[in-house]
Amino acid sequence: MSKKQRCLKLKVNARFDSATSPAILILLLFVGINMAVAAVQGSAPGLDVYPTHWWVGMKNPALQLLIHCRNFGGIHQVKLGSYPGVKLIEIHKFDNPNYLAIDFNVGAATKPGKLSITITNSSGNSKKLDFEFKEHRKSNGMEYAQGITAADLIYLIMPDRFSDGDTSNDRFVDMNDTVCSRSNPFLRHGGDLQGITNHLDYFNDLGVTALWLTPVVENDQGLTNEAGTMRSAYHGYAFTDQYKIDRRFGGNNAYSNLVEQAHKHGLKIIQDAVYNHFGDKHFLFVDPPAKNWFNQWDTYTNTNYNDQPLVDKYASSLDRNETVKGWFTPFMPDVNQQNPFVANFLIQYAIWAVQEFGIDGWRVDTYFYSDRVFLNRINKALRDEYPHISIFGETTTKSVTEQAFFCENNLNVSWKSNLPGVTDYEWFDAAIASLTKKSGSSPNVGRLYNILVQDILYRNPMNNEIFLDNHDQNRFFSAIGEDIDLYRSGIALLFTQRGIPQIYYGTEILMKNFKDPTDAEVRKDFPGGWADDSVNKFVPQGRSSLENEAYDYVKKLAHFRKNSSAIKSGKLMQFLPIGGVYVYFRYDKSQTVMCIMNIDKEDRSISFGRFYERTKGFGHAEDVIDGKKYDLAGSLILPPKKMFVFDLH
């Protein structure tokens, strides 16, 4: 490798099987500087390996172990026990003598078992670990890594704010952040994975088919002072150890149980991933193997939060570098995915998480901020191992062209993304604008029509996740002025358009608020998720009549959608909007669904005859909400702020 990477390799041709000598001793003489060791002198000596374990029978036989020996005085020697089928390829040493990387090839015939690894320091003191190769995960009748498709309805949950199912894990005195206080919107509130598991029947009743949780991995960050306010990492986007599910959420066992129980309830699980940055308390940042594991600047440099320099062929290198290599916040150092060891660490964790927990989909936070070569590499690695797994990336871009650039597209560009789909912010902006804004004297429903016109840029727009709100946006009910008619129209729009619909926890019960002055305002606790809550909105008795009306409307449409082949996998045909009236169809060989929206403030009349191209052969349209039938030979009076969803017969 190049001198710049400051890492030396030692090639060894050896195979660990019954024919070799009982043990192989390799002397490693480390050079370079000892980086940031003082930061961990207070910790107890320990020997950690990443991945923590692996599996036999994986499609990719390559495995790279990263060994971290904490507060041990550096690694002087490594001794590997014999293991049939496991071939040693290469050993790597770093500037920091606390680390070692070992490359293996795990043969197809390798059996489950444990590989003995002994580390010795310069004083002759030794530490031993047994690295386990486990049996490959079996589905046992319940599929995993099955992917999320347009047939699904995603329910987005922020675990800390949904439900506290186990109060014993609300705080731990040995973690950096020991505070749990529901009275402060910036601190942890105690929600956990058991709280989500306790409400799986609720999701089934609502008609949800997939759960997307904001990150559940360890965020042992402590409190940070941002703009004079103490904040915790309750949101989960400042990882400190990917291989640990945060104990305050219940730990690895609680996550395994949630996934297993969700699958039994017919629910898929989407894991939220972050490749771009870690928390600044991450062990790899506190005690890095080498300086180039993170993007470094002479002085602190923040990302510019703009994707345009990555798409713009006229952009400067300065702007591109600031986008990709600038830090997301001063507390979230930017990861250098161009470093092959960093890339391997992230890729192997992604595969490990799918195999360990049996998750079904992958949502990637801050997608375009990462190195584009790395992004294609990790996507390919995941899909090579799990062909059906779905991946969608968060792309907050400025245009459909820019958004399409970051996923599989029809653009004539030099770099071609292999990301299947994105969080469709362009659709989101257009949907909210169509419901709330005017263009001149008419509603702006034409903006949504024009966004869909640009679907020619995507390879498959059905893979895009569409939404009306999420943990970073205004609550939908507030964004539309708490208008229940517009609420119903928006839900109907979301559930019948192309793509994978996602609702945010509490949207079904009209939870509200704006993200200004802070995002915490749209991350309130779900009422009833805590034992001492005065009301429980998980049940009809705890909801107001209007909240029950909203819940029942979502439930009715969700279950219709669940059984609608036309919406789940059919085609879309839209007609030019006239005034505030927008008409489109979802259809396949067995079903046709007609959707009619009037966002105007006045009654409008339409003739079904205008849509003969799609209505021919049908006699009447049945409202999927109330069952009322309409003769397709006549016309229809559209009340203001009303959307009809018709099943044609």
Q: Is residue 34 part of a domain?
A: yes
| Same domain flag for 576 and 554 | no
- Short-list 283, 285, 224, 213, CA closest to 250: 213
How does pLDDT run across 99-136, given as a tens digit for each residue? 999 999 999 999 999 999 999 998 899 999 999 999 99
| Same domain flag for 245 and 320 | yes
The pLDDT of residue 439: 62
Residue 293: phi and psi, rounded to 5, are -80, -15
Residues of the chain with pLDDT under 50: 1-43
The pLDDT of residue 440: 61
The pLDDT of residue 41: 33
| Same domain flag for 383 and 449 | no
Kind plus residue range of the DSSP H or E element containing 478:
helix 476-479
Kind plus residue range of the DSSP H or E element containing 241:
strand 241-245
Indicate the pTM of the whole model. 0.92
| Same domain flag for 257 and 381 | yes
Give 596's strand partners. Answer: 583, 644
| Same domain flag for 379 and 415 | no
The pLDDT of residue 89: 95
Compute the radius of gyration of the chain from its Cα atoms: 27
| Same domain flag for 516 and 367 | yes
Sign (positive or negative) of CA dihedral 616, 617, 620, 624: negative
Q: Is residue 105 part of a domain?
A: yes
Q: At what angle do helices 251-264 and 340-357 cross, to 10 degrees?
A: 50
Domain that holds residue 54: 3-134
| Same domain flag for 320 and 183 | yes
Q: In the listed set 437, 466, 495, which residue is the last one of a domain according to the structure?
A: 466
How does pLDDT run across 18-52, given as a tens digit for each residue? 333 333 222 222 222 233 333 333 345 688 999 99
| Same domain flag for 478 and 524 | yes
Sign (positive or negative) of CA dihedral 441, 442, 448, 451: negative
Alpha carbon distance 534, 576 (integer Å) = 49
| Same domain flag for 212 and 326 | yes
Q: From residue 384, how far is each of 243, 273, 388, 390 by CA, in Å?
A: 22, 18, 9, 12
* CATH code at position 78: 2.60.40.10
Number of domains, the chain: 4
| Same domain flag for 390 and 413 | no
Q: Which of 394, 402, 426, 600 is catalytic?
A: 394
Q: Is residue 87 part of a domain?
A: yes
| Same domain flag for 221 and 353 | yes
Q: Is residue 345 part of a domain?
A: yes
How does pLDDT run across 581-620, given as a tens digit for each residue? 999 999 999 999 999 999 988 999 999 999 999 999 999 9
Q: In the listed set 534, 564, 594, which residue is the last one of a domain according to the structure?
A: 564
| Same domain flag for 35 and 89 | yes
Question: Is 365 a residue of the active site?
Answer: yes
The pLDDT of residue 14: 34
How far is C-alpha 486 from the chain's CA centre? 29
Q: Is residue 232 part of a domain?
A: yes
How does pLDDT run across 531-577, given as a tens digit for each residue? 999 999 999 999 999 999 999 999 999 999 999 999 999 999 999 99
Question: Is 298 a residue of the active site?
Answer: no
Q: Is residue 143 part of a domain?
A: no
- The answer to whether the beta carbons of residues 588 and 565 sit under 8 Å apart is yes
Q: Which of 365, 402, 525, 600 is catalytic?
A: 365
Per-residue b/e over 77-96, b at no fewer than 16 CB within 10 Å?
A: bbebbbbebbbbeebbbbbb
* CATH code at position 577: 2.60.40.1180
